[in-house]
Amino acid sequence: MSDLLANLNAEQLAAVTLPDEPALILAGAGSGKTRVLTTRIAWLIQNGRVSPAGLLAVTFTNKAAKEMMTRLTSMLPINTRGMWIGTFHGLCNRMLRAHYRDAGLPQTFAILDSQDQLSALKRLLKSLNVDDEKYPAKNLQYFINNAKEQGLRPADVEANDDFNRRFVDLYAAYDVQCQREGVVDFAELLLRCYELLRYNDAIRQHYQHRFRHVLVDEFQDTNVLQYQWLKLLAGFGTQNPAAVFAVGDDDQSIYAFRGANVGNMRDFEHEFRVRHMIKLEQNYRSHGHILDSANHLIAHNARRLGKNLRTDAGHGEPVRVFQAGSDGQEASWLVEEIRDLIAQGMSRSEIAILYRSNAQSRVIEHALFSSGIAYRVYGGLRFFERAEVKHALAYLQLLENPRNDAAFGRVVNFPTRGIGARSLEALQDAARQYDCSLAEAVAYVPGKAGSSLGAFVRLIEQMRAETRRMTLPETVEYVTNTSGLITHYRGEKEGQDRIENLQELVTAAQAFVMEEGFGLDALASAIPVGRDGAQAVPALADGDQAQQVLDPEALPVVMTPLVAFLTHASLEAGDNQAQAGQDAVQMMTVHAAKGLEFNAVFITGLEEGLFPHENSAMEADGLEEERRLMYVAITRARERLYLSFAQSRVLHGQMRYHVRSRFFEELPETSLKWLQPPAQAYGGSPRRQQNESGWGRDWFKKPEDVPYSGTKPTGGMDTGNGYADAKRQAGSGLRIGQNVFHNKFGEGVITALEGEGADARANIKFKRHGAKWLALAVAKLDPID
């Protein structure tokens, strides 16, 4: 029985077993935060303090939510699927689906991701003939999201000048457009759900009665609206509020740019009269020098709740610091250090390379690639964000809701059907005139344009009819074929990859229906009845929501497999690379690294202007946020930490010269090991002298070993080197049977070789992309073992 509590330290134990009252847990990096949160849930359930249906736990990322469910399943024999554990967006979506009518939404509302939102805004600005020089869609997007994150509708936003008034008007027009099209953006999910709870007494009271415990992860990253939502849900100010258990770390607040408000922690403490505040300061992750560095650094921030991490682990290795002449040298040094680590037996996936912005990854990728070190880059274009996948999803969205103008506009002429800009303009005019959706406006367009448009609408209708009795994977496959997408890409020279992604989408649909418990034979567009033993659907069909919400065990599972899949695609953009699971060095931004840990961590590009980023200087609290970001980066490391900066680097196609980051002056000198004399920084002065540990490798003596001398006018990593690489490869003896690594296709094996010199070609069978002929003069191949 007490198994759950075994191996918790005193602080953790106290947190897990707190009474049913508001609590704030200040959990330092690596202090077992997730463990405390999940053990708390398990303990509450095991001791009968709450039923699985009576608690709600919310996180920010899908990854964290999944992790929580996995751990919970391993602690208790319960099915977590029906539980209210998820992200803010996921949980709000779920509530909105269950109460779509009260929320004023169509049952099958679609979710816009940031990209979709931006194009919706561009469309709006165009239709209103707004000068996009003066009112750029991006600024408008920022304005709207910012307002929504504060819980403000257009009428609530104060506009003190004409310029701002225009923004407010556009915000209002955007909301009207979304409503007409039946789409909802990320911020709207939260705001709409908040309003649902706020203005509908029956629903609010239902959830307030139902959730006796509300647990919040990463509380420091909540925005104003999320906090308000939590207060409503937890019945703040009512007779019988839920116990809110908030876990967070003010030192790790790094999302101010998307509305995170660290002040929520203080507000929570005061408003909820928190009597239980527990600090988890015992760090189980990092060696001493690493932790000292983190503590020293973060002490430079003024506004903190105050916390100091301690560890029982020894000092470990000092933090290695490298000053490179250029970004290319920095990358070469990384490669050498990583080789050493691998030689010492560290697995690649335990090594992470972190950087401030995604653009920095390329030079590093190139160096790793040339050295044949497998790597994986997080971020960038993810699976569900790819153009061809989005096209297929747009067709699927039209099956659910033909009024979705975003989806309609995306594919009405893709593949091309003779519906050009002229026809579309006529269609948009008609839609405006009759105040209807594009699909409905088709009837008003005369002539040839009208008939081509009509044919498209009939195509969609036909697809809807034909897929009525299909399962989700069948529907996806049918749509990719019948839409003409596959045929279209077959005719394109780079089309094969896109076709494979479309096939992958079918596979993803198969996996999805299995994982989500729909099963392989569930119809795509039918609401499953009795799933998870839930009986939520019939009540909804009656239109009697009160009945449904009064049943505390009812799980509002009202999504059809297709709607659920589309939702999944919007809320979880998926992974970006095929080689998951492969033992590869991990590359990502510091933001993306939050919540993760690695044996060895490289923090690169530690230069003024980059990290701290130059744009941060413009924001209030900007520098402190950068420092917290650096704190997050440092505390990712368990055993080894490496810091590097380059005096020159190619950025946006231009050579830039940087001074090393001020953060170096904020780290404890005794924990650092400079790998060579800290030379005169550009425009700055050296603070440090050589320390006792001596110099590292002398990189400056062997410029010929450095793939990037930084002398090229542009980044140009693909130019020039290709042919030289090919010669080197030819010389290095590629042979049949040889395993190779390709940047794009991943691992493969050579099955044939042909031609010589510039004509040399190899047939390679790739694990994930099938067989391909690649010209050695062009393809970048590296032998692997």
Partner DNA sequence: GGTAGACGTACATAT
Partner DNA sequence: TACGTCTACC
Tell me which residues are annotated as active site: 33-34, 217-218, 252, 636
Phi-psi map region of 432: left, alpha, beta (phi>0 left; psi -120 to 50 alpha): alpha
Burial of 345 (0-12, 13-18, 19+ CB in 10 A): exposed
Residue 248 belongs to what H/E stretch?
A: strand 243-248
- Please choose, from the candidates 559, 545, 554, 558, the residue with its C-alpha nearest in 3D space to the C-alpha of residue 53: 554
Backbone φ, ψ for residue 186 (5° rounding):
-55, -50
Nearer to DNA, 210 or 649 (CB): 649
Nearer to DNA, 181 or 185 (CB): 185
Helix (H, G, I), strand (E, B) or coil at 318: coil
Residue 718 CB, nearest distance to DNA (Å)?
A: 4
Nearer to DNA, 320 or 613 (CB): 613
Nearer to DNA, 519 or 720 (CB): 720
Site residues for DNA per CB under 7 A: 60-62, 87, 89, 113-114, 138, 145, 186, 254, 257-258, 356-359, 362, 379, 413, 416-423, 448-449, 571, 573, 589, 591-592, 613, 615-616, 618-619, 622, 629, 652-653, 714-715, 717-718
Report whether 721 contacts 728 (CB < 8 A): no
Q: Tokens representing 35?
A: 């463990």
Nearer to DNA, 254 or 559 (CB): 254
426 is in an annotated binding site: no
**Residue in this structure with the two tokens 């991701």, named with its chain if needed:** 113
Nearer to DNA, 60 or 207 (CB): 60
719 is in an annotated binding site: no
Burial of 773 (0-12, 13-18, 19+ CB in 10 A): exposed
Residue 492 CB, nearest distance to DNA (Å)?
A: 8
775 is in an annotated binding site: no
Separation CA 39–CA 43 (nearest Å): 6
Computed on alpha carbons and rounded to an integer, the radius of gyration of the chain in Å comes to 28
Residue 415 CB, nearest distance to DNA (Å)?
A: 8
- Please choose, from the candidates 765, 769, 775, 707, the residue with its C-alpha nearest in 3D space to the C-alpha of residue 740: 765
Separation CA 372–CA 75 (nearest Å): 41
Separation CA 499–CA 501 (nearest Å): 5
Backbone φ, ψ for residue 328 (5° rounding):
-65, -40
Residue 357 CB, nearest distance to DNA (Å)?
A: 3
Report whether 214 contacts 45 (CB < 8 A): no
Nearer to DNA, 576 or 676 (CB): 576
Say if strands 598-603 and 213-216 run parallel, antiparallel, or are unpaired: unpaired
231 is in an annotated binding site: no
- Please choose, from the candidates 652, 699, 691, the residue with its C-alpha nearest in 3D space to the C-alpha of residue 674: 691
Residue 369 CB, nearest distance to DNA (Å)?
A: 12
Strand order in the sheet with 761-766: 770-775, 761-766, 746-754, 739-742, 781-783
Residue 708 CB, nearest distance to DNA (Å)?
A: 13
Nearer to DNA, 137 or 562 (CB): 137
Nearer to DNA, 403 or 613 (CB): 613
Nearer to DNA, 254 or 321 (CB): 254
Residue 122 CB, nearest distance to DNA (Å)?
A: 7
Residue 617 CB, nearest distance to DNA (Å)?
A: 9
33 is in an annotated binding site: yes
Burial of 756 (0-12, 13-18, 19+ CB in 10 A): exposed
E strand segments, 499-633: 585-589, 598-603
Residue 551 CB, nearest distance to DNA (Å)?
A: 29
Q: Tokens representing 254?
A: 């790094």
Burial of 704 (0-12, 13-18, 19+ CB in 10 A): exposed
Residue 642 belongs to what H/E stretch?
A: strand 637-651
Separation CA 537–CA 527 (nearest Å): 8
**Residue in this structure with the two tokens 């479309």, named with its chain if needed:** 502
379 is in an annotated binding site: no
29 is in an annotated binding site: yes
28 is in an annotated binding site: yes
Burial of 619 (0-12, 13-18, 19+ CB in 10 A): middle
Measured CA angle at 407 (ends 148, 519), to 5 deg: 95
Residue 272 CB, nearest distance to DNA (Å)?
A: 24
Separation CA 778–CA 259 (nearest Å): 45
Report whether 738 contacts 750 (CB < 8 A): yes
Query: Residues at the annotated binding site?
Result: 27-34
Which residues fall in the annotated binding site for ATP? 27-34
